[in-house]
Structure 1
Amino acid sequence: MTAHHPSAQTVSRTGTRVERLPLARFTTLGVGGEAEVWFVETAAQLQEAMEAPYRILGGGSNLVIADEGVSERVIRLSGPLAERDLSPDGQLSTDEQIVTGWVGGGVPLPGLIRQLQKLGLSNLEGTVGIPAQVGGAVWMNAGTRYGEMFDGLHTIEIATPGGTRQVSPAELDWGYRDSGIPRNHIVTRVRLKLRPSTPEEVLAKMDFADQARKGQPKMKTPGCAFKNPGGVSAGRLIDEAGLKGTRVGNALIAPEHANFIVNLGGATAADVHALLDVIRSRVPVPLELEYELWPERPGPL
């Protein structure tokens, strides 16, 4: 066991704060080893950060990071890239739709959804309760059965190692839990396309979507482990295999909902991988992982 030394903080040539940190603190599961984290605030800083192999880390949901961490730089959007302008764009907005100013990819989604509710702006209330940042939520088209991110997008700004471009959703091959945006591209900002409503009506829709999530565990979890295969509930298949409450180390298949793995406290990524392997071996239908794994794992997962 090596002693943990305080992280050394440096500044890159474009002024980016760079620090070696345990990634567990940035994830909803609370596992993951160390990496070099770049706190990027501008397009110039982002281009510099993308000059070497990198990964982008947003809200840290939907993610299982290995106990040994990752070798690549880990980019976090901060500063102006984590700010929002929800004022209507006068040239693009109409009576039927509001197109906002730019919303940074580093903006936490739950706070944004609450703010839209107070403003009486509809289209994204179906994403209530998803603990993501806007960029990551757009990148994977996060959602629930009541709605998804692409219900409320007008323009998406995407950074690539070759520069930044802006696209409309129609230009992307998006679908269920998939934006069609390539893996190494970063959603830096979006403009939202929303429907004028009332705070009361939007809140009622949020409450309705939220009620459906009441059976989900409240402990540390990355979210749903597997995509629903062909419209069948993955949770039901795992439950029918008798796996609810199965435990490896300090990771547990949640008794409330079998498609969730929770951290009881002190779980490791290895514990979680072992549970995923158990599920895959016991459920008779091939299951596709909804989690991102860092680094990617060879073999069945």
Structure 2
Amino acid sequence: MSRTGARVERLPLARYTTLGVGGESEVWFVSTQEQLAEAMEQPYRILGGGSNLVIADGGVPERVLRLSGPFAERDLEPDPQLSTGTEIVTGWVGGGVPLPGLVRALQKLGLSNLEGTVGIPGQVGGSVWMNAGTRFGEMFGGLHTIEIATPGGVRQVTPDDLNWGYRQSGIPRNHIVTRVRLKLRRSTPGEVQANMDAADQARKGQPKNKTPGCAFKNPTLPDGHKVSAGKLIDEAGLKGTRVGNAMIASEHANFIVNLGGATAADVHALLEVIREKVGVPMELEYELWPERPELTQAPVAEAR
């Protein structure tokens, strides 16, 4: 235990990632602002639902923080002082709340704005930090207030305070989304479910194996036209390419899957193959722990 009561253990991080890879590291389970402040006194990383993440086989040297307790609870009751007409502003939803369960709960309440994120794994905090979403909607479409823990203390901001956009929130890397208030639209359970079904149907072709999600962001060509990263990888003939027990999915080329027993080194090798073979510079969507600039920075190449 830490001096503030946080539970601290050395654990394999593979158990906390959707890819299922990652070596042992020191994990802090924090449930209060005091525990979080103590954990942030030394170099740290925040680990939510473990999607969109590839952790090295040797783990990381920093403390790894997991939000628990009140940080993993949700209050979906409308705040009477902030809600108006058909617009609902909820109570606080913790950064450690699983996003899939939240989306299902909102559907049952007939509350709209986040159903486009259906099927995205992970937790609320990480999903806000990267503005997770699909072409049917993204996290910033349903946010009212964001509480952020920083090395200098806790502050609250609104989306208007941040330079957010496609798959990024504008929140610095060493800041932690601890809680949010949601801004939602009154609808009906049936209408929200129909929207979820439409978004879910578009994801039917995605692989069922362990995966972090999409590997690369869809790039924008010099003419301003955005193209599908999966289509580019497919056109390069890379579907089914395998290194060790990691493979570029045959269902969707922008996914790397763990066939069982894959290592982070296997995944890194596949990312290098994609970068070498695809003739368009693409930005990695995965987070790599530790960072690998040679993989995350877009290579210099002429867009075709």
Task: Please state which band the TM-score falls in when normalised by the shorter chain.
Answer: over 0.9
Post-superposition CA distance 1:97-153 (Å, at most 9, x none): 000000000000000000000000000000000001000000000000000000000
* C-alpha separation in 2, matches of 1:118 and 1:297: 42
Q: Which amino acid aligns with 1:272?
A: V
- Return structure 1 stretches of 4+ with deviation > 2 angstroms: 298-301
Measured in 2, the distance between the counterparts of 1:295 and 1:89 equals: 41
Distance 1:56 1:133 in 2: 11
**In 1, Cα distance between equivalents of 2:122 and 2:135:** 17
Q: How far apart are the structure 1 equivalents of 2:294 and 2:44?
A: 23
Structure 1 vs Structure 2 CA RMSD: 0.5
Listed one character per residue, the Cα deviations across residues 208-235 of structure 1 (whole Å, up to 9, x for unaligned) are: 0000000000110000000000110000
> Does the aligned pair in 1 maintain the 2:271–2:295 contact within 8 Å?
no
Work out which of the residue numbers 3, 11, 30 in structure 2 matches 1:40: 30
Aligned with 1:143 (options 133, 141, 145): 133
Aligned residue in 1 for 2:240? 245
Q: TM-score, normalised on structure 1?
A: 0.96
Match of 1:299 among 276, 286, 294: 294
Residue 96 of structure 1: CA displacement?
2.0
Letter of the structure 2 residue corresponding to residue 166 of structure 1: Q
**Structure 2: which 5+ runs fail to align?**
221-225, 297-304
Among 156, 165, 180, the alignment partner of 1:175 is: 165
3-state SS of paired residue (1:47): helix
Instruction: Give 1:1-301 correspondences, 5 Å limit.
Output: 11-230=1-220, 231-301=226-296
TM-score by length of 2: 0.95
Q: Which amino acid aligns with 2:214?
A: C
Give the % identical residues. Answer: 83
**Counterpart residue identity of residue 121, structure 1:** L
Secondary structure of residue in 2 paired with 1:299: helix
Give yes or no for contact 2:284–2:295 (8 Å, CA) kept in 1. Answer: no
Q: Give the secondary-structure state (helix, strand or coil) at the position aligned to 2:294.
A: coil
Shift of 1:298: 3.6
How far apart in 1 are the matches of 2:295 and 2:148? 31
Equivalent residues, number: 291
Could you tell me which amino acid in structure 2 is paired with residue 239 of structure 1? D
Question: CA offset at residue 300 of structure 1?
Answer: 4.1
Q: Deviation of residue 297 (structure 1)?
A: 1.0
Separation of aligned partners in 2, 1:65 and 1:94? 44
Supply the distance in 2 between the matched residues of 1:260 and 1:208 (Cα, whole angstroms). Answer: 21
**1:31-51 C-alpha deviation (Å, 9 max, x unpaired):** 000100000000000000000
CA distance in 1, matches of 2:95, 2:149: 11
| Cα distance between partner residues in 2 of 1:190 and 1:298 | 31
Cα displacement (A) at 1:299: 2.2
Distance 1:113 1:300 in 2: 33
Q: State the alpha-carbon separation in 2 of the partners of residues 99 and 111 from structure 1.
A: 18
Distance (Å, rounded) in 1 between the aligned partners of 2:196 and 2:97? 19
Equivalent position SS for 1:286:
coil
One-letter amino acid of the structure 2 residue matched with residue 249 of structure 1: G
Distance 2:239 2:14 in 1: 25
1:229 alignment partner, SS class: coil
